[in-house]
A and B are shown apart, each in its own frame.
Chain A
Amino acid sequence: MKSNIIPAIRLTIVCLVFFAGIYTIVILGFAQLAPNRGKGQIITQNGKTYYANVGQSFTNDKYFYSRPSAVAYNAAGSGGSNKGPTNPDYLKDVQSRIDTFLVHNPDVKKSDIPADIVTASGSGLDPDISVEAAKVQVKRIAKIRHIQEDDLQKLIDQQTEKPLAGLFGTQKINVVKLNLALDNIK
C-alpha cells in the first residue's frame, strides 16, 4: 500500500491537469468558433435577446401557451414534477389544467387537446410544443389578435420543425420562436 501512495498522489495531480485542465481548455477553444461563442444559442428581436433553446412561460391568452412547468420556466434551476402516473393529486392537477384550457378556448373539443399541453416537461424548460398543441390554440389567438385563422395556420406551418431528415424523431414547434413571429404579424 505504502509504495503506492506517492505515485497515486502524483498520478492524481497529473490527471487533474490533463483531464480537468487541458481537456476543458481545448473544448473552450473550439467553443469560440461555435454560435454565440459557446454561451448558448441566442435569438435577438427588437433589441431584446432570448435563448433559443430555453423555454419561456406563456400564460397570456394572446400568445401560444407553453407547457406547464415544475420550475415556472426560471432557468436558474430545472426539474420535472416527478409525480407518479397514478398519484391522485397529480391527476387532479391535470384535470384542472384541462378545465382551465377549455375555459380559455371555448371552441375547442376536449378530445382535440393534446397531452403535452397539460403535462409538465422533464426539465421544466421545454421550449417546444407539439404541432397539435399549436393548432388547438389558433381560434383563441385569431379572436384576440384579430388575425385570420388561415394566417395563423400558415405561421404554424412555417415554424414546424420536421423530424430529423424527415425520418427520425418528433415533429415540433419552438414556442419562443413561434410567439416572436406572432408578434411580428401586424
Chain B
Amino acid sequence: MNTEILGVILMYAIVVVLAIPLGRYIGKVFINEKTWLDKILNPVDKLFYKLSGINPDKEMNWKQHLVALLTLNLIWFLFGMFVLMNMTWLPFNPDNNPSMSPDLAFNTSISFICNTNLQHYSGETGISYLGQLVLILFQFISAGTGIAITAVVFFAMKEKTTDKLGNFYFLFIRSCTRILFPISLIVAILLVFNGTPMTFEGKDIITNMQGDTVRVSRGPVAAFVAIKHLGTNGGGFFGANSAHPLENPNYITNTIQIITQMLIPLAMVFALGYVLKRRKLAWVIFGVMTIGFLMLLIPTVVTEMKGNPAITKMGISQTMGSMEGKEVRFGTAASAYWSIATTVISTGSINSMHDSYMPISGMNQMLGMMVNCFYGGVGVGFLNFYIFIILAVFISGLMVGRTPEFLGKKIEAKEMKIAMIIALLHPLLILVSTAISSYLYAHNPTLYAGWLNNPGYHGYSEMLYEFTSSSANNGSGFEGLGDNTLFWNITCGVVMILARYLPIIGPVAIAGILANKKYIPESAGTLKTDTATFGLMVFAVIAIVAALAFFPALTLGPIAEFFSIK
C-alpha cells in the first residue's frame, strides 16, 4: 500500500488508541477521583486557590458558572489588548517588532481568548516574544474554559435533580493543570528534540550557499506549538503556521502535532461516557462523529492525491498529487488529512495552504467548520453536538409520537427555542457577514481590490471561508485574503465573540434547566438515545441543517469553481 496512505492510517489509529484512556483520565479529573498525578498537582492546585482567593468547594448553578466564565474572559480580553498595543516598550522584543493597531489588537485578543486563533498578522513581524508568551497563556486558558464548561454540561446530564453543578474555578484550574499542562510539556519536549526552536534570541542572519544574505526567524516556538495543538487553538508562531520548517521540521513532528490536536476532542466523548457511566452513548456519539469525519476526509485525500487537472493538462508528472502550497516532507495525503482534521476539530493550524486546495477539498474544509461538531474544538465541539442531540430527540419524539426525553429529562418548548436559536446562529453569522462583504466588494471593486488574491468563484470562497472560520472559532484561512484592514478586523472580531459565547451559554442553559427537572425513569415508552438508530437520526439532523443552510453559499463558491475546471 502507498506509504502516504499508511502514514495517515497510523496517525488516526494512534489518536484513537490514546484518546480512550485519556478520556477515562479526564473523567476522573472532572469528578475528582484519584489519579497518579495527584501527588504533584494537589499542592499546585491549592496554591492556585490560595493566591486567587477562590473557594473551590462552593457549588454553583448554571448561571453562576456563566458569570464566572464571562468575567474571567473579559479580564483576559482587556489584558490582551493592553499587551498587544504596547509591545514596543515592553520587554522581550529583540527584533523590535511594532505594537498592534487598535483594530488588529482587538481582533487578535478576541481571537485568542475565543480559542479561534484567527491571525491577521504574521508571527515573524507582527508580534514580540512577550506577545507570544501572552498568547501561550491564552491558548491554555481558553482551552481550559472550553473543557471546564463542558464538564458542567456533563454534570447537568446526570440523573439526579439539582441546580448545583460543581465549581467553575475548580474545573477550570484542574483542566489547565491536570490535562493541558502535563501533555503540553511532553509534546513540547518531543518537538524540541526534533528540531523545533526554543530560544529567546532574535532573528539570525546567515549567508546562503548562493551568497544571498537572509534572516531566519526563531523564538520560543516549541512551547507555543505544543499548546496550540493540544488546546485546538491553532495560531501559528510563524506566518506559515505548521507548514514552516522550524515550526514543524519533519514527518515525526507532523505526526505528533496532528495526534495532539485530535486528542482531547476525541477523549472528551469518552470522558462523557465515564462521567455519566453511559459507555454506549459515548460510542454512539463517537460513531456519528467518525462517520462525518471520514465522509469529509476520504474525498479530500483522493482529490488532492490526483492532482490539479489544469496542471496535468500541461503535460508534467503529478504523481505526488497537487503540490501547490504543500510541503514535500509531508506529502499530499498527510497534508489533506491535516486540512480536514484541523477544520472539523476547530484547531485552524495548517501544514499546507488551504487557499491552493482543489475546489472540492476547499468545500470539505468549509463543511467541517460549518458542521463544527465532528469531534469539534476542545469541549465546545461537544456543546455543539449537544444542540444537535436535543434537536434530534425532539424531532424523533414527534415522529414516533412520544414525549421527547433525553436521559430521563423532558425537553420542552423553552429548551427547544434555545436549541433552535443556537443551531441557526452559526449559519446566520456566516451568511450575513459574507453577504455584506460580497456586496461591498462587488460595488467597490477598485477600493477593495486588495482583499482578494484570486478572481471569480475562488475569490468569493476566500471571503466565505474567512467568516466560516471566524464563526466556527477555527482560525484557519484562505490566506490570500488581505485581511488586516479595519473591516475584516472588526467584523471577524464581532463574529468570533458571538460565535464563541452564545454557543456556550445556550447549551449550558439547556443543560442547567434540564438538570433542575424531575427525573423520569426509563420505561418501555422511552426513546432510547444510545442506539445506532438514534445515531443515524442525529446524523440526519446535522446533515439537513448544514446542507440546507449552506448549500446555496457553497454553490456560488467551490461548487461553481469545480464545474468551471475544463
Contacts and interface: CB of A to CB of B under 8 A. Distances in A.
Nearest to A52: B195
Given A121-B328, A122-B353, A50 B209 contact: yes
B330 A170 contact: yes
B412 interface: no
A185 interface: no
B323 A115 contact: yes
Interface residues of A, number: 102
Nearest to A116: B323
Interface string A33-77: 011011111000000111111111111100100010000011111
Contacts of B308: 85, 115
A54 B10 contact: no
Nearest to A95: B314
Given A40-B216, A111-B317, A164 B357 contact: no
Given A39-B201, A80-B240, A169 B181 contact: no
A77 B352 CA distance: 16
B230 to A, nearest CB: 12
B453 interface: yes
B160 interface: no
B52 A169 contact: no
Interface in A89-144: 90-91, 94-95, 98, 110-116, 118-130, 132
Contact of B71 (A1, A55, A79): A1
Contacts, number: 368
B210 A63 contact: yes
B320 interface: yes
Contact of A53 (B134, B249, B561): B249
B197 interface: yes
Interface string B214-253: 1111101011001100000000001110011110011110
A98 to B, nearest CB: 6
B334 A169 contact: yes
A184 interface: no
In this complex, which of B240, B245, B307 has the most chain A Cβ atoms within 10 angstroms of its Cβ? B245
A80 B318 CA distance: 19
A78 B356 contact: no
Given A12-B76, A77-B239, A110-B316, A125 B355 contact: no
A120 to B, nearest CB: 6
B54 A169 contact: no
The 4 closest A-B pairs by CB, nearest first: A82-B480, A122-B243, A84-B458, A170-B331
Interface of B: 3-4, 6-7, 10, 47-48, 51-54, 67-68, 71-72, 74-76, 79, 122, 124-125, 133-134, 136-137, 140-141, 169, 173, 176-177, 181, 184-185, 188-189, 192-193, 195, 197-201, 203-204, 206-210, 212, 214-218, 220, 222-223, 226-227, 238-240, 243-246, 249-252, 255, 307-308, 310-311, 314-331, 334-335, 350-353, 355-359, 453-458, 461, 478-480, 561, 564-565
18 contacts: A19-B141, A20-B137, A28-B200, A40-B216, A40-B246, A59-B210, A63-B210, A67-B328, A82-B355, A82-B454, A83-B454, A116-B323, A116-B328, A119-B323, A122-B325, A124-B240, A132-B319, A170-B3
